[in-house]
Structure 1
Amino acid sequence: MKSFVKHIIFKFALKFFMGLGRILGKKQLITVSSFLGSLLYSLSWKRKNVAFDNLKIAFEQQYKESELKKVLKKFIQEIILTALEIAFIVKKKEKLAQWAKVSGIEHLDEALKKRKGIIALSAHLGNIPVMLAWLAEKGYPVAVLFKEGKYLPEGFLYNLIKSYKIYPIPFRSDREVPKEIISALNKNMIVFILADQARPGIYAKFFGKYVQCQKGAFVIAQRKGSPLVPIFIVRGENGHEIKIYPEIELQKQVEILIEKYNCLLEELIRKYPEQYYWFHRRFKRMRVH
């Protein structure tokens, strides 16, 4: 019964946001997201509490609780704004050229010359669909590992990804996915993997805590010799900024590769705390080192 109710809520929310994307102008997106985000912040719900607990763990030495509540509110507003932007772009069939600027594109071009594909290490930070679609629109061979939303209509993300000429790699199982990733790398594609979720794999340092980190992307890169290129997107003062970093030099120790990635991600999160997806239970399993 609980799952059925959530499915109905998600279905309604999807129609609601797509409807707003159709009728709102670009300049109205911020105003509407601010209002809806403030409304959601005022309510009590489970994931909001999860996000606040995560913020307290990550920033326990940096912010007071009152300051963290402001970050939480801005985070919820940011989530709404991201959803409205995606709906707006889809419904208005917007070109992405004016939506983002990029720095470090030369790192991507150099890595592609190696003809071994690229594992693009990204995270649940900023408006990820804008980043993927922007690069695909520029002619880059983009692929992305993703998981369909549990309560979204069947095939929703798959069809949306394909519509932007991005190669979709649905997560099916830990056994099947590496084969599809390797297949895309063999075609010299840029395979985006959001490597920041807690999954059984290895413990590495993140915000001063030793947390579970997935190692699949790093192990595949080691075996294939494919460049590991960190790529993130954030919302700056003048719009979205795609940040492409120099490739992480491959090493035998996976822990070192993961912590280099974690270090870059943490630096961005500290600068843009409201833009990280705090709903994930990122600190669920921590280990005393």
Structure 2
Amino acid sequence: MFEYAAFRIFAGVARIIPFPVLRPLLMRIFMIAYDIGLLRRRVLETNLSVALGGAVPPARVREVARKCAAEHGRIVAELLWPERLIGNPGESIRVSGIENLRTAISAGRGVILLTAHLGNFILAAYQIARMGYPLTIVARRIRNPAIWDEIEKIYTRYGNAIIPIRSSRNDLRAGGKILKSLRRGDTLVLVNDQDAGPGGYKSLFLGVPSYIPSGPAHFAFRSGAVVVTGFVTRRDDKMDIDIQAPIDFTEAKTKGEAESLILDEYTRRLEAKVVEFPEFYFWFHKKWKSSPEVRGRYHG
């Protein structure tokens, strides 16, 4: 209950503060939290040292880490005041590639929109829904039921829906709901970049093996759904939503072949975005937790 009470108090106080004040304030608070050793600083710096390359000086790692911390403070502010940004594309948000989503939906086989913890993907889901394309977000349920209720409210704003899952593997009930939703022609959002353990699909990310959930490829192969990718970055203080062309996996004859075609291409597209915008990626999770090359560095 303490976590829930703290969440409610924070959200209530933050909503009193005007958005133009709250956004820079939270950006500054998150930077300070990083500076004093909070916000999983070792994980953040380890990930960035790998991502930016071993020859990058520590000062550059810290510079990008501070920008990353600030960006996630901004994301929190935006999620507390989404109405200040949603519904006015061109003013606060740019959307490119919406025709890719429209074409994928028109195929009538359901759509899997693969994204990542890059930029404010939740706010992007709001904007896409407001443009007439409601989404169903697949999200892992957390243990605290009160906090989970609040998360559900966040995900399902603006007409979006949610399918909760227990884990990235062996959740038969959630898997059935996902397949049913795809066969109904829905558009499902799967955030597929976090470590799935040694049993996940092995794909090179920034030259280092990462193990990501294989479920999206299995669902696409079984259902025939169209797979597109979409990522969120920011430029000139405007959020950029980029919905990319479908991933072609028509040559896949087996589930394993579908994994390779879909997940390697997804990783390649995500990598290109992260290389260009490293400060917008959520480096606070142990991206390479299952990779022996990096795992030990998370613990010093």
TM-score by length of 2: 0.86
SS in 1 for 2:177: helix
Q: 1:94 to 1:211 in 2, by over 3 A?
A: closer
Q: Match for residue 296 of structure 2? A: none
The reply to whether residue 8 of structure 1 matches residue 5 of structure 2 is no
TM-score by length of 1: 0.89
Alignment partners' CA distance in 2, 1:157 and 1:9: 13
- 8 Å CA contact 1:17, 1:84 repeated in 2: no
Alignment partners' CA distance in 2, 1:45 and 1:263: 31
Q: CA RMSD in A?
A: 2.1
Q: Match for residue 279 of structure 2? A: 274
Q: Match for residue 137 of structure 2? A: 144
Alignment partners' CA distance in 1, 2:106 and 2:39: 47
- 8 Å CA contact 1:210, 1:287 repeated in 2: no
Counterparts of 1:171-186 in structure 2, within 5 Å, are 171-173=165-167, 174-186=171-183
Q: Match for residue 154 of structure 2? A: 160
Q: Match for residue 188 of structure 2? A: 191
Unaligned runs of at least 5 residues, structure 1: 1-6
- 8 Å CA contact 2:229, 2:245 repeated in 1: yes
Give percent identity, aligned residues only.
23
Counterparts of 1:82-121 in structure 2, within 5 Å, are 82-89=75-82, 95-98=86-89, 99-121=92-114
Alignment partners' CA distance in 2, 1:144 and 1:238: 26
**CA offsets, 1:1-48, max 9 Å, x none?**
xxxxxx7367425532442233223x3344213321232122123712
Q: Match for residue 3 of structure 1? A: none
Given residue 25 of structure 2, which amino acid in structure 1 is its aligned partner?
V
Q: Match for residue 76 of structure 1? A: 69
Q: Match for residue 218 of structure 2? A: 219
**CA offsets, 1:57-87, max 9 Å, x none?**
2222463211010111111111111001110
Q: 1:61 to 1:10 in 2, by over 3 A?
A: farther
SS in 2 for 1:153: helix
Given residue 111 of structure 1, which amino acid in structure 2 is its aligned partner?
A
Q: 1:153 Cα deviation (Å)?
A: 2.1
Corresponding residue pairs, total:
279
**CA offsets, 1:86-140, max 9 Å, x none?**
1012xx5764334422111111111111100100000001011111111111121
Q: Match for residue 31 of structure 2? A: 38
Q: Match for residue 22 of structure 1? A: 16
- 8 Å CA contact 2:23, 2:78 repeated in 1: no
Match of 2:289 among 280, 284, 287: 284
Q: Match for residue 235 of structure 1? A: 234
Given residue 278 of structure 2, which amino acid in structure 1 is its aligned partner?
P
Q: 1:150 Cα deviation (Å)?
A: 4.7
Alignment partners' CA distance in 1, 2:53 and 2:4: 33
Unaligned runs of at least 5 residues, structure 2: 294-300
